[in-house]
Amino acid sequence: MSDRHPSAKTTQLISRGAALCLLGLAIAYGIGGSVIEYAFASDPLGPRVFPVALAVILGLLTTWYFFSPGTAEGFPTGRLLWRVLGIPVLLVVSVLLFEPAGFAISIFVLTLGTALIFEAPLKKALLGAIGHAALWWFIFSFVLEVYLPTGALFGH
Amino acid sequence: MSFDYLWHGFAVALTWQNLLIGFIGCFIGTMVGALPAIGPINGIALLMPIAYTMGLPAESTMILLAAVYCGAEYGGRISSILLNVPGDAGAVMTAMDGYPMAKQGRAGEALALSGISSFIGGILGTLGLALFAPMLSGLAIGFGPAEYFVLMIFAFATLGSMVGSQPVKTLIGCVLGLMLATVGLDATSGAYRFTFNEPELGDGIEFVVLVIGLFSVSEAMIILEHQGKGVTVIRELGRMTARWADVVKTTGATLRGSLIGFVVGVLPGTGASVSSAVSYTTEKRISDTEGTFGKGDVRGLAAPEAANNATACGAFVPMLTLGVPGSGTTAVMLGALMLYNIQPGPMLLTERPEVVGGLIASLFVGNFILLALNLPLVNIFARVLTVPNWLLVPGILVLSVIGVYSTHASVFSIFLMLGIGFVGWLMRKAGFDMAPIILGFVLGRVMEVNLRNALAISGGELSILFSSTICNVLWVMAAAVAILPFYLSRRSKRRIAAALATAE
């Protein structure tokens, strides 16, 4: 299960890790903002000042956050962590299939995988995935006439 | 003060197409609200790109999204009462007396009574919106770029001091949103900023991609973590109508809750969770002479329900009149307006009366539809609670993928959404709220453009930001809302410490 009430030490570790990541982002963003190339600007500020100011503000706030971390929810552990991470992985696979294999197959894979991650029995997961793929295909392609790729398998 | 815009709005809202759209929105909204896993912001984030892709006009899209928003505020009470798990943040306090009533076999009565309180709160909130929107709009018409920039500072200061218990995280969220808004082509200089030579980032990060990433993908991961907590639905609903005596008994609580809800809703950064908590504690202080609150007192049920519905309407006031969203959900709706190239602000009422009037009129109509849906059909909505997550979450993910693809027809956008969703999940684990990021993103471009325009007018002199009375009043208000909560918190801590020392 998710560690909903992590220890103070874990909370500090998570928060300080997040603060350091944000500080790195502030520095990178500030440097990136200060070297934006432009030919002209019709206002006194130009395109660089606002991003650099934001980077400075983020840097200051992050320093405050580092020394006063507050509470964090904490990450899931063990098998649950792998199941949770399975959702974005499954989405990546499904999106990679989206144009080559088509909407229906891609959505079938996504919904079947997600149902299994949520511990649905295989038969119900299969039926649910077929139902999802057919329902959404019908609603979007025929009722709402939204373009969705049919994939190489179906000749597009 | 002219109400022509409102009559025009009723003409828009009462067309059969918009009535149908409003009905569908109310139905979906109630279901979304009833499901503990998702809230109004998720429902709106998923529906917004679909409405846009369907080619609905701006006013119809706003009617749909407003109906979902209000429907969700009604629906949130269902799981609060039957599961003791709030369907959305605004329904947390509803469970305090609603669930004990359900355990006493009075679930049907609790649902009916809270439906009536929701209706009164919604109607009074909409009345307030119809009254205050033109007034505030008229005041804000004199705003120039400098005033707008300071107004945004005020909005962020309000957020930092009011949203959540960790203001630094709220402010970091706002800054991250502002940073994301700088990605893409800078219209003033023609420079590309933070695009990493990726042509698809030339127009910036699309609002739909950000919203769906933050509120759908990360939500699916959170639902998985929190599932299986062993809650049981109360199925014995009992009598399905409210007792007249209870309606009379709760009149005061409902009216007070509506007033508190509306006022809290108008303030940027506060939401239904704050208003329902304030109204509940106020009502407890006023009415709980026999210690019945928390044990199934109808007044403890009515007050927060009226408040959270009035808040939803109040949150539209700053959004429609100043272009400053009052809550995360209205920030998403503001983004929906921008999808249609409509710039919110004081001129919106004059330039697009059909959008503002149509939205407000649809709230009046929507509340009647919601009352009609929520009294006789509450049994059907209660069944939504039995939909398993393995069936619900794949549907959310499919709608997320289709929503992004249908708006941009690009696989890159879907990958970007996934990346944003994953980072959003990491941030939620670290205790960050997603709404400030959306608020920062929505206000980001407007804020920068107004700052640069103001400085262009003054020839680079920063004194323009302090040159008008409106600017100075807004600076003082921003400083007050930023500093006061810290001062009050310190003072109360000192008092508690002093009291403890005296007791020892």
A149 and A83 assigned to the same domain: yes
CA B90 – CA B420 distance, rounded (Å): 26
A88 and A146 assigned to the same domain: yes
Q: Residue B200 above 60 pLDDT?
A: yes
- Confirm whether A72 is domain-assigned: no
* Least Cα separation, residue A153 to chain B (angstroms): 18
- Confirm whether A73 is domain-assigned: no
A111 and A131 assigned to the same domain: yes
Predicted local distance difference test score (pLDDT) of residue B225: 87
Sequence-ordered list of residues with C-beta below 8 angstroms from that of B245, at least 6 positions apart, any chain: none
CA B414 – CA B106 distance, rounded (Å): 46
Q: Do A92 and B221 touch (CB under 8 A)?
A: no
Single residue among A26, A45, A67 that ends a domain in this structure:
A67
Q: Which two tokens stand for residue B20?
A: 């149908």
Residue type present at position B327: S
Q: Rounded to the nearest 10 degrees, how much is the dihedral formed by the CA atoms of B57, B59, B65, B71?
A: -130
Closest among B329, B340, B343 to B54, alpha carbons compared: B340
Among chain B residues, the shortest Cα distance to A79 is held by B225
Predicted local distance difference test score (pLDDT) of residue A13: 85
Mean pLDDT confidence for B435-457? 89
Give strand pairing partners of A85.
none
Residue type present at position B140: A
Sequence-ordered list of residues with C-beta below 8 angstroms from that of B13, at least 6 positions apart, any chain: B19, B22, B63, B358, B361, B362, B364, B365
Predicted local distance difference test score (pLDDT) of residue B414: 92
- Confirm whether A131 is domain-assigned: yes
Mean pLDDT confidence for A7-11? 77
Q: Residue B37 above 80 pLDDT?
A: no
Spell out the domain ranges in chain B: 4-467
A116 and A86 assigned to the same domain: yes
Closest among B435, B354, B351, B269 to B61, alpha carbons compared: B354
A82 and A137 assigned to the same domain: yes
Helices then strands, each counted (H, E), chain A: 5, 0
Backbone φ and ψ for B308, nearest 5 degrees, come out as: -70, -30
Among chain A residues, the shortest Cα distance to B193 is held by A36
Predicted local distance difference test score (pLDDT) of residue A132: 92
- Confirm whether A3 is domain-assigned: no
A30 and A94 assigned to the same domain: no
Residue pair B42/B87 in contact (Cβ under 8 Å)? The answer is: no
Closest CB to B430: pick one of A14, A39, A140: A14
Q: pLDDT tens digit string along A65-124? A: 998 887 788 788 888 999 999 999 999 999 999 888 888 899 999 999 999 999 999 999
A58 and A85 assigned to the same domain: no
Closest CB to A72: pick one of B395, B429, B455: B429
Predicted local distance difference test score (pLDDT) of residue A3: 45
Closest CB to B389: pick one of A72, A107, A118: A118
Instruction: Considering only CA atoms, give the Rg of chain A.
Output: 23
A84 and A41 assigned to the same domain: no
Predicted local distance difference test score (pLDDT) of residue B334: 85
Mean pLDDT confidence for A139-148? 81
Single residue among A67, A90, A109 that ends a domain in this structure:
A67
- Residues in chain A with CB shorter than 8 Å from the CB of B453 are 43
A61 and A97 assigned to the same domain: no
Please give the residue that has the higher pLDDT: either B299 or A42. B299
Sequence-ordered list of residues with C-beta below 8 angstroms from that of B386, at least 6 positions apart, any chain: B233
- Residues in chain B with CB shorter than 8 Å from the CB of A2 are 225-226
Q: Do B166 and A45 touch (CB under 8 A)?
A: no
**What is the torsional sign of CA B261, B262, B264, B265?**
positive
Q: pLDDT tens digit string along A15-37? A: 889 999 999 999 999 999 999 88
**What is the torsional sign of CA B438, B440, B443, B444?**
negative
Q: Is B281 helix (H, G, I), strand (E, B) or coil?
A: helix
- Confirm whether A1 is domain-assigned: no
A25 and A62 assigned to the same domain: yes
Q: pLDDT tens digit string along B121-148? A: 999 999 999 998 888 877 777 788 999 8
* Least Cα separation, residue B332 to chain A (angstroms): 22
Q: Which secondary structure element, helix H or strand E, spans residue B342, and what is its range?
A: none
A13 and A38 assigned to the same domain: yes
- Confirm whether A2 is domain-assigned: no
Predicted local distance difference test score (pLDDT) of residue B451: 92
A54 and A83 assigned to the same domain: no
- Residues in chain A with CB shorter than 8 Å from the CB of B227 are 118
CA B100 – CA B104 distance, rounded (Å): 6
By the 10 Å C-beta count (0-12 exposed, 13-18 middle, 19+ buried), B29 is classed as buried
Range of the domain at A148: 78-154
* Least Cα separation, residue A155 to chain B (angstroms): 19
Q: Which one of A1-10, A84-93, B91-100, B483-492 scores highest in mean pLDDT?
A: A84-93
On whether ipTM exceeds 0.90, the answer is yes
Q: Which secondary structure element, helix H or strand E, spans residue B193, and what is its range?
A: strand B192-193
CA B283 – CA B285 distance, rounded (Å): 5
Count structural domains, chain A. Answer: 2
Closest CB to B182: pick one of A50, A129, A147: A50
Residue pair B481/B159 in contact (Cβ under 8 Å)? The answer is: no
Closest among B15, B97, B80, B28 to B357, alpha carbons compared: B15
Predicted local distance difference test score (pLDDT) of residue B129: 92
Mean pLDDT confidence for B323-349? 82
Q: Residue A5 above 70 pLDDT?
A: no
